[in-house]
Structure 1
């Protein structure tokens, strides 16, 4: 069965939760015998020519540089390419690209949409963008052959829009890190000058809804010398917000190593005192699951997707509350004992099991 995947920027090592989701999921599906083609955005990929990634074909396509046109224009072209490739299923990721569901249906394609989150709730979007995102969600609910939901809240939302739609609730997953001796840190990590278990770690794109500005403010209110703060990531596109965040971080003394993956990311997780995810909007955050895979103490905002993971209630703070987040950081530093999350993750968030569930959805379309 030929599956063509659209809606993402690409794989591997491309920043973003959807990109990480696809990077881990599709090699498992390729091993199960599916013919997987991932259509990515040329400017985000390591090669401009078609290449193989763990048994999957990655096909770069050009896209407009304007951020307002990038996703829709690329998805339109990618779906047309899927038709040329004679796809059995076109798998659209996210509700923005899902506005092209009707285009795929016009071309006679079977369409599956994975709904990763209510993106219209993101702070960065204006009225037009929010309208487009809501329209994409409605298109997925009404015109796709099926929807994969990564959370209970998303499942309920699709059923509100179309009670007859087939919704398959399949969560994000995580790769459990090997419990082996690691290599020495790279030059990039070594130059940060970090001390083992003496820093708080956060990870994500530099956009308002990640609330890293709130985290910096809360960390700055800790007693001097409590710990370092490391926030790994970068903006997708330079913006006034990302510039202001970097300026705030520099003034406060937070460490911003940029986008990290692979061994560097592994090192930052392994040696952190704890992990913080202060977002106002998420789907089912892979970054949180990754932190759990290292049995890190976690402090998370009390938004519904975070609550759905069912951490201990003491892990949550009132979203956007700087004083409450500061208190939680102090509590974390005073009680560095690691929780044990790996059994839960292996049972519920294993990529192999998630791939098997996804394969069943493909075969049932």
Structure 2
């Protein structure tokens, strides 16, 4: 039977921590997914006695149950539908976490944050990571944006602890929710060391890249600004190719309109492995991120970690990376972007060592573990999971 523990790792029993709000990992597209893939195995390595369970979305995972670097992966059934899948999957996951006797649920993003009150009602300790103001994303209509704002309010009201992934976001949340200021923790994404197990020559041949290229990485959604990039690229005097890595979760009209612009000079490469991304980051002439909205962009941190020359939109989340002024352009200004793509890229080199020192996944794991223990020690009733449900949890396949 799963025993609930206190916050201290030296206790006879250790907690089960369930993580939800994400699709899953590994090799699942998305910033939250990359965040959890980097973070959770590190926390497990630091705190091996605790049980870490990701309650992801079954449609994105190859197996219903698996283990990745000590983290258990469980697929939660949910409809694959843009407006409903995140919230319904999180609803099921929170109930599942309670039934399985978890001590704490870690909810990622403010849409799933709508379920924070339910988790509290069930007696769970709750941590929410705020990855960005998703209600500013262009893909959402008024109803969805209202729901996301409400999710943010519920998360900031009911979670025991809140994590913000960028300093500008943390400042905004402390100003908007002053009563929770002491419970809001800034823990940034890291600049990872991507795997080096792909042959660069084979990667470029497979993708049809036979010339210098610019690189963009992101989902095919309006807030990534890829339409601006393609327009500026086609208007510029740049002679390189443009390679766009990423896909759409749901094939809407916007994604179709982007893909229709593919050609000899504009290559849509789809979703790629992290090893392939490393090859592209290290060999691109310039990495470009024209986004209108980000949390703290992991793709930009990956590119910086690989030493790519960089040109980013000047939204606060990109500014939070702390590059020189020359590495930014006014968001949405296609004329300026056209000029910048026509210029020499050499001045856009960055200090990747500085980026790696400032943005460390190892440090993020240490700090997140501290937040977990603070939430576990908060005043809350222990979760009284039904005995049958606990027995069901204990009958899971042995961990590997």
1:46 lines up with 2:74 in the alignment: no
Deviations 1:163-216 (A, max 9, x none): 1210010001121247x7963444x641333246x1000001000000101000
* 2:272 counterpart SS class: coil
* CA deviation after TM superposition for structure 1 residue 331, in Å: 2.4
**Among candidates 222, 234, 247, match of residue 234 of structure 1:** 247
Q: Where do 4+ consecutive residues of structure 1 move more than 4 Å?
A: none
Structure 1 215/347 Cα, relative in aligned 2: closer, same or farther at 3 Å?
Answer: same
Match of 2:351 in 1: 340
Match of 2:11 in 1: none
Structure 1 2/301 Cα, relative in aligned 2: closer, same or farther at 3 Å?
Answer: same
Q: Is the 8 A contact 1:315 1:328 kept in 2?
A: no
**Partners of 2:198 and 2:134 in 1: CA distance:** 37
Match of 1:106 in 2: 121
Matched residue count: 357
Deviations 1:87-125 (A, max 9, x none): 111000000000110111111110000000000000010
Instruction: Give matches, 1:214-293, under 5 Å.
Output: 214-223=228-237, 226-250=239-263, 253-293=265-305
**Partners of 2:101 and 2:72 in 1: CA distance:** 14
The answer for unaligned runs of 5 or more in structure 1 is none
Q: Is the 8 A contact 1:141 1:161 kept in 2?
A: no
* CA deviation after TM superposition for structure 1 residue 332, in Å: 4.1
Instruction: Give matches, 1:293-308, under 5 Å.
Output: 293-308=305-320
Q: Given the two structures, how large is their TM-score scaled by the length of structure 2?
A: 0.86
- Let me know the Cα RMSD of the aligned residues: 1.7
Match of 1:155 in 2: 170
**Partners of 2:259 and 2:170 in 1: CA distance:** 36
Larger of the two Rg values belongs to structure: 2
The answer for unaligned runs of 5 or more in structure 2 is 1-14, 376-400
Q: Is the 8 A contact 1:214 1:322 kept in 2?
A: yes
Structure 1 348/269 Cα, relative in aligned 2: closer, same or farther at 3 Å?
Answer: same
Instruction: Give matches, 1:1-365, under 5 Å.
Output: 1-32=15-46, 33=48, 34-47=50-63, 49-165=64-180, 166-177=183-194, 183-186=199-202, 189-195=204-210, 198-223=212-237, 226-250=239-263, 253-333=265-345, 335=346, 338-342=349-353, 344-365=354-375
Q: Given the two structures, how large is their TM-score scaled by the length of structure 1?
A: 0.94
* CA deviation after TM superposition for structure 1 residue 347, in Å: 1.9
Q: Is the 8 A contact 1:8 1:18 kept in 2?
A: yes
Structure 1 29/213 Cα, relative in aligned 2: closer, same or farther at 3 Å?
Answer: same
